[in-house]
Structure 1
Amino acid sequence: MTGVSATSLGTFTATAQEDDTVSRQNTITVTATRRDESLVDVPYNISAVTGESIEAASILDDAELLRSIPGVAVVDRGARNSGTMNSARIRGLAVDSNGLGDYAVSAVASVSTYVNDTPIFANFLLRDLERVEVLRGPQGTLYGSGSLGGTIRYITRDPDLGEYNGYVSASGSSVEGSEGLGYSVDGAFNMPIGDKAALRIVGSVGDYPGITDYVNVYELDSSGIPVAPNGILDTAASYKSVEDADTVDVWMGRATLLLEPTDKMSIKIVHTRQSDEVGGRRQSTVGQDGFGNTYGDYENGSIQLEPSSRDINATSLEAEFDLGFATLTSSTSHYDHTGESVSENTGFYAQAGFLSFYYTYPRPMASAVRTFADEAVVQEVRLVSDDGDAFDYVVGGFYRKQQLEGTQSSFLRGFKNWWDAYLPFAATAVTRDQDFAYRRTENFEEVSLFGELTWHTSPDLDLTVGARYFDNKSENVTFLDLPLYAGVSDPTNASFSASEDDVLFKVNASWHYNEYDMLYATISEGYRRGGSNAVPLTGSFAEDPRWQLYTPDSVVNYEVGVKGERGDIRYDVSAFLVDWTDPQLNTASTNWGFFTVQNGGEAQSYGLEASLDGYLNDNWHYSLGYAYVNAELTKDFYAPDRPAPAAPIALDGAMLPGTPEHQLNWALDYTRDLNNWTWYSRVDGYYQSETRNGVGVSPTYNVPLDGFAIWNATTTFTRNNTSFSLWMKNIANDDGVTGVFTEAYMGTAPAQGYFGNANKQLISLPRTIGVTVRQNF
């Protein structure tokens, strides 16, 4: 958490209006349309949060940031596996269970994310940002695959030419349920290199105590196997409690070099590195363990710790050339994102009756060791015309070569030792503790051409048409083995290639019906790439061939809205209808549980989004946001190998998971000069109504999740270049549950020797109180 800069504490740009009023609104410039435009001039539904606002509100993480933006829902999984998959949901376009997140899935997210011009999801720390832009609705024309619901863009700060500046900040915090204190140290240093270049270096280190107590963890021996106090063949086990297990250690560094050799040329090189080490889940178990003990607040029933780690390196080269009639931009980037985690699978095996033969041994401990890797090279070239009298255009080309990998190695810790002691004459029948080995490697290549043409038919009316042609190729290679029992099955490799091409379209009209207000309407398409599941069709692990491929899913969005700025008030209201065809569901194949994607039938989402931002007077500023979303299936959802008249896996009319019908955002801040000090205080809140955990008919996954509200507050005193902030998150300490692993899915099973309990709730950050000191220079 970086604290507050002096410029965020009440300074504003004054703009004269015709009626002689003065606007206190800052002019926010965005680049969502690939050209510099004022936020109020973008002819569709977009929000932008400046870096200064993020710092002023003492926003801690991406979940808190997204909750402050109208119409964005988020599944808050905490720090563990936070970079594995994008948890943001816009306009309800998601069918995956909220509990997903322990492993990288095959289908890309329905909301695309960018860091500057690089399409990447990495959940970087929110440090030294220029702004965050949220584009609602499909953005297929300019942003390609994955932008079904919208696009989120994180824009980092550029170096300042010709001046030395920077800041150092330090924060300390205490969170409800923890015995320790957390801290972070952040800083940035801007250094000019002559008159035409500058370097900006940003660094952040954070060390946060956990809140979750793992209260019934096995004692392990030096080999990582549960201790058998009375011998291997006896059922007794030794347990311990690990307090505050979900510790978070994270560091991030970013270096940006800006070169402007002439007034017609700009070159920017950005390199970012982040590393996370997380000790366990910020997820609580409800109910009782196998001995009848009731779990308390912030207690987890796993019988093993569940750490995660990840590393991300990302480098980009962005060059702009002013050609006089247009700006030519080239963006070249490479990133390498890897991670691993350990998950408790004992509860899953205990509840899956067909796997009960595994529980013929005492002290069962099923560990799922998972890894993911995402590496890509991306190149985009675009030409953006200078403002023209009659026409403006954006044309470009996009290329991406990406390799994705996901693995799972599952172990029954101690099974081999028990087998050898119990059945020594058959020792060779069991080879090891590993019972499952899986690897998926996908190579994906995309070539796209895109463009938008805007016709200024009059000073008040603009018409825009856009299109994107894409040609995708992918090859998926999978490996599966069940190595526990000798000779039961043979290791299997399978591969399959897929390709697809199509054209997306967009039509937009905007009418400035007076000096302050604009009416806009859009019909736009979005898509998400398809691919191959590469399941084997012969041999020990053969699957039905209908699992082999999954096709792209697509949406058509119809939207009408009005936005504008009148004096101290800026507003945006839009209504939308989205038709979703062939929605993609991350799931598992029927026979052997290959990680797969399947297509469903149809879904639809419609609703209303509204935001209001303004000043009551020179001191008081407010913002309000509201979203109503009705998102549901409009056709029964069947498994590929079990079509009608078989029973559907989800029903027509089922509410799509993770998105509430009603969301509210609000904030009120106050700025005042006190002698030589500036005092800034802010209170903000978020409310969401009830959601669903899944979309299927099975209550094992599809259960209701209660609505909740989260309140935050911060107050800051600034003098010259020094600021002191006191802040509090989740003042009422609401659980804020956004996902669950149910008892039926991962509960206790004492009859099978499993006395832990792996059900859990994904809770929001509990009440946290912190202080930040910042020095600018």
Structure 2
Amino acid sequence: MISVSVKRGALCVLLLSTASGAALAQESGATNVDEVVVTAQRRSQAVLSVPLAISAIGGEALAAKGINNSASLSTAVPNLQVSSPYGSTQPNFSLRGVSVANEYNANQASPVGVYIDDVYIASRTSQGMGLFDLDRVEVLRGPQGTLFGRNTTGGAINFITKKPSLGATTGRVEAGYANFNTFSAQGAIETTLVPDALGVRAAINYQKGDGQLRNVAPGGADANSIDTLQGRVSVRYRPAGGPLDINLRAYAGRDRGTQAGVHGLAAARTGLGFFEINENRVGKNKTDAWGAALNVAYSLSNALTFTSITSIDGGKQNLQQAADGAPIDILDINWRSKFGQASEEARFNYEGQGWNLVAGGFYGEDITKTDNTFNIASALGPGVNGGFYQHYRQKRSSWALFAQSDVDLSDKLVLTAGARYTSDDATYRDGRAFLFLGNIGGAQTPLATTVPCPTAPGTCAYNPNAHYDISGDGSAVTGRLALSYTFDSGLLGYASYSRGYRAGAFNGGGYTSSAGITYIKPEQVNAYELGLKGRLAENRMTLSAAAFYYDYSNQQVQDTRPGPVSFLVNAPKSEIYGAEIEAGYRVSPDLRISGSAGYLHAQYKELSLQGTDLSGNDLPFAPRWTVQLGFDWTLAHPASGDLTLSPTVNYFSRQYFSPFNAKNAAGTGQVNAELQQPGYAKVNLALVWARDGLTVKGWANNLFEKKVYAYGLDLRGAGFPYNFLVPGTPRTYGVSIAKAF
């Protein structure tokens, strides 16, 4: 075994040699690269001056890269994976190997915190809405347990919307058409009602298209169709241009596309192509999300600002999922949940001579009410249809106090120190489930109570008044300590230690027995990082590189045991280390090259599921290598405009979908080697002509139509004759025209 110190030393060498190699690219005489401003430390800073690993993508860059939903972010951020058993609905973010692993229930919080304008979004269903009219997206890699809070063991993603600038009336409209008969339209308009004091901005996003996976079953709908509509209104009030700045944002959206396609029963796939299915019951993914946030900032002096962020959000999901990929009924699930949350954060920002401070408090609570139905066709007996019904209500509340300070130890050396205390309380109420007799979508005749019932299904008599209640709580101290140094060249180097945690959780997958419904321990990460970032080549190159080591404990994973009974358990110990680099280089005014690469070693040091030792296995959704490379090349200037070619290549090495990797638990019938995606590369391409606010774009994604699985789940171990596999998106292409005014 290589010692931890040797591994850290090797990563340091990799980081420094990568940065040194980039520095050799210096030439002269080209245009400077643009500056990017972020608020990753709850104050405005240039991204290259923040001692954190951050990927910041502006709204225009998102559009140019074809990133129109959160599931597409992995094509622009190193060591980020996005997966889901439900297509773009309820995305599972994996950042540097930290993810929800094989957990798929709606009540679980993501270990990568997702925010809209600094407001934490608890529901993973609400995190899957489309992206539109954004100022930028900030992806913060590594634990963010100081300023962002709980459930950030992997990092944080902050979607920052455009707000009124209190200037001239502006706007933008766009319309597009793509294959699969897909129509899209976006629009935004901003107007100032009182000069420098009162402004309004409104934006809308619409997209509708046919299913992208052809269904050969007679009368069956095609899978992966698109039907989304979203809107947002922002109001900004700054009386007399003074110290008070009030921003109110409200949004609502809904999706009605068909479910993600499934490769399941092998016999039903005879003669089919990869992007074809044979499914008699393709359902719809019906999701809704809405919310409002009030951000009030008041400058008490030139150095001191008070900010209050009050928010309320809600939503629901009704996912009708045929989970067998067959023209016969084997497993059909109706996932139904309603979500609600409210939060308040109040903080002070002080910026003094040689000293900056952010300090404040947070309170938030969220509620999930779930009613799921699992139809298992004739599993009760030949020609006898039935299944399980499940209900529970989960409530979580959290409060925290936090502070972080930057102190200039010299004109080049800065000490960052911060801490956060978080207290969590959670309840699981009215938990009940029963085994029933009945057809899909028909009346249900209860046969036996399964929750509360600690034994196998069918062993406890049906009792409509029985319910299962448990509670859980916890607290944690998290924080950050960093030293950063600015070299004479302007490069920023930093070394940091961070601790993050993800709150304890209830098992939302316990419906065949109450034996597995417990409150398990919180996750914790101790992270060490070295970083280097800045400008090179006479400001024509931007560089950001980092090497990291994680001591990761108690990752929350599912353990489905014979019965089948689902248990949510903790993986005692994991080890993660790796490195990543992002760079952009302006070769000339007409050519800019950009790229990123990530290396990741993420393995369980201690884990046993179903009596099988999985120590040494890779964490799910943690490919060893991720690489993105592209350029923007202005080829010509026809009709006084700019014609720009923008190809990108995205490579991902092999990743597993299960903690078992290719191992099988004895006596289960598992074939876990199916639950993986070998390495692959995808090519995207765009050709854009732009002049005076008018933009015409042609694009293609997955140009060479790589056949890739996006998600997989073990069902053979639960007694079904197949595994659950979700194919990714085929080649898509289209055109759009946009006008800014």
Q: Which category of TM-score, normalised to the shorter sequence, fits these structures?
A: 0.7 to 0.9
Number of the residue aligned with 1:281: 260
Number of the residue aligned with 1:483: 436
Residues 187-233 of structure 1, C-alpha deviations (whole Å, 9 max, x = no match): 011121112111111011111111223333xxxxxxxxxxxxxxxxx
C-alpha separation in 1, matches of 2:510 and 2:92: 31
For the pair 1:323 / 2:300, whether they are aligned, the reply is yes
Q: 2:401 aligns with which of 440, 449, 457?
A: 449
C-alpha separation in 1, matches of 2:100 and 2:287: 26
Number of the residue aligned with 2:581: 610
C-alpha separation in 2, matches of 1:439 and 1:555: 32
C-alpha separation in 2, matches of 1:568 and 1:747: 59
User: Residues 211 and 320 (structure 1 numbering): CA distance in 2 closer, same or farther, change over 3 Å?
Assistant: same
Residues 230-250 of structure 1, C-alpha deviations (whole Å, 9 max, x = no match): xxxxxxxxxx25363432210
- Following superposition, the deviation at residue 284 of structure 1 comes to 4.3
User: Residues 297 and 501 (structure 1 numbering): CA distance in 2 closer, same or farther, change over 3 Å?
Assistant: closer
Number of the residue aligned with 2:524: 554
2:588 partner SS: coil
- Following superposition, the deviation at residue 110 of structure 1 comes to 1.8
Identity rate, percent:
23
Number of the residue aligned with 1:474: 426
User: Residues 249 and 38 (structure 1 numbering): CA distance in 2 closer, same or farther, change over 3 Å?
Assistant: same
2:63 partner SS: helix
8 Å Cα contact 2:643-2:687 kept in structure 1: yes
Number of the residue aligned with 2:369: 405
Alignment of 1:60-209 (within 5 A): 60-75=68-83, 80=86, 82-84=88-90, 86-94=91-99, 96-97=101-102, 101=104, 103-104=105-106, 106-120=107-121, 121=124, 122=126, 123-174=128-179, 180-195=180-195, 196-209=197-210
Alignment of 1:682-701 (within 5 A): 682-696=646-660, 697-698=663-664, 699-701=670-672
C-alpha separation in 1, matches of 2:692 and 2:639: 12
C-alpha separation in 1, matches of 2:329 and 2:152: 43
2:621 partner SS: coil
User: Residues 534 and 272 (structure 1 numbering): CA distance in 2 closer, same or farther, change over 3 Å?
Assistant: closer
1:53 partner SS: helix
- Following superposition, the deviation at residue 169 of structure 1 comes to 0.7
C-alpha separation in 2, matches of 1:345 and 1:670: 44
Larger Rg: 1
- Following superposition, the deviation at residue 389 of structure 1 comes to 2.0
Q: 2:413 aligns with which of 461, 475, 483?
A: 461
State the AA in 1 paired with 2:93: A
Residues 397-434 of structure 1, C-alpha deviations (whole Å, 9 max, x = no match): 01001102233123356999x99xx9xxxxxxx9xx65
C-alpha separation in 1, matches of 2:238 and 2:562: 58
1:369 partner SS: strand
- Following superposition, the deviation at residue 745 of structure 1 comes to 5.9
User: Residues 294 and 399 (structure 1 numbering): CA distance in 2 closer, same or farther, change over 3 Å?
Assistant: same
8 Å Cα contact 1:51-1:129 kept in structure 2: yes
- Following superposition, the deviation at residue 125 of structure 1 comes to 1.4
State the AA in 2 paired with 1:201: A
Number of the residue aligned with 1:370: 335
C-alpha separation in 2, matches of 1:700 and 1:190: 55
Is the deviation greater in 615-624 or in 300-309? 300-309
State the AA in 1 paired with 2:653: S
Number of the residue aligned with 2:553: 581
Q: Tell me the number of residue pairs that the alignment of Structure 1 and Structure 2 aligns.
A: 676
C-alpha separation in 2, matches of 1:278 and 1:252: 14
2:108 partner SS: coil
Number of the residue aligned with 1:293: 270
User: Residues 259 and 514 (structure 1 numbering): CA distance in 2 closer, same or farther, change over 3 Å?
Assistant: same
8 Å Cα contact 2:285-2:319 kept in structure 1: yes
8 Å Cα contact 1:534-1:548 kept in structure 2: no
State the AA in 1 paired with 2:76: S
Q: 2:629 aligns with which of 666, 688, 692?
A: 666
C-alpha separation in 2, matches of 1:767 and 1:316: 38
Number of the residue aligned with 1:357: none
C-alpha separation in 1, matches of 2:28 and 2:242: 37
State the AA in 2 paired with 1:274: G
Query: What TM-score do you get using the length of structure 1 for normalisation?
Result: 0.82
8 Å Cα contact 1:615-1:622 kept in structure 2: yes
Number of the residue aligned with 1:776: 740
8 Å Cα contact 2:363-2:398 kept in structure 1: yes
- Following superposition, the deviation at residue 310 of structure 1 comes to 0.5
- Following superposition, the deviation at residue 305 of structure 1 comes to 1.7
State the AA in 1 paired with 2:298: F
User: Residues 592 and 243 (structure 1 numbering): CA distance in 2 closer, same or farther, change over 3 Å?
Assistant: closer
2:682 partner SS: strand
8 Å Cα contact 1:266-1:319 kept in structure 2: yes
1:167 partner SS: strand
2:267 partner SS: coil
1:496 partner SS: strand
Number of the residue aligned with 1:248: 226
Residues 37-90 of structure 1, C-alpha deviations (whole Å, 9 max, x = no match): 00100012111000011123333332333321122122265xx46342x32211
1:555 partner SS: strand
State the AA in 2 paired with 1:390: G
State the AA in 2 paired with 1:368: I
C-alpha separation in 1, matches of 2:325 and 2:672: 15
Query: What TM-score do you get using the length of structure 2 for normalisation?
Result: 0.86
- Following superposition, the deviation at residue 653 of structure 1 comes to 0.4
Extract unaligned runs of 5+ from structure 1.
Answer: 1-18, 175-179, 217-239, 349-361, 423-429, 640-646, 750-757
Instruction: Point out which structure has higher relative CO (alpha carbons under 8 A, 6+ apart).
Output: 1
Number of the residue aligned with 1:564: 534
1:288 partner SS: helix
State the AA in 1 paired with 2:170: N
Residues 583-608 of structure 1, C-alpha deviations (whole Å, 9 max, x = no match): 111445765635x5211210010001
2:61 partner SS: helix
Number of the residue aligned with 1:737: 709
C-alpha separation in 1, matches of 2:557 and 2:361: 30
8 Å Cα contact 2:526-2:551 kept in structure 1: yes
8 Å Cα contact 1:494-1:534 kept in structure 2: no
For the pair 1:503 / 2:477, whether they are aligned, the reply is yes
C-alpha separation in 2, matches of 1:159 and 1:322: 19
C-alpha separation in 1, matches of 2:328 and 2:497: 58
8 Å Cα contact 1:374-1:404 kept in structure 2: yes
User: Residues 398 and 81 (structure 1 numbering): CA distance in 2 closer, same or farther, change over 3 Å?
Assistant: farther
For the pair 1:761 / 2:725, whether they are aligned, the reply is yes
Give RMSD over aligned pairs: 2.9
- Following superposition, the deviation at residue 542 of structure 1 comes to 5.3
Number of the residue aligned with 1:710: 682
Number of the residue aligned with 1:524: 498
C-alpha separation in 1, matches of 2:277 and 2:638: 48
State the AA in 2 paired with 1:613: G
C-alpha separation in 2, matches of 1:679 and 1:747: 57
8 Å Cα contact 1:252-1:272 kept in structure 2: yes
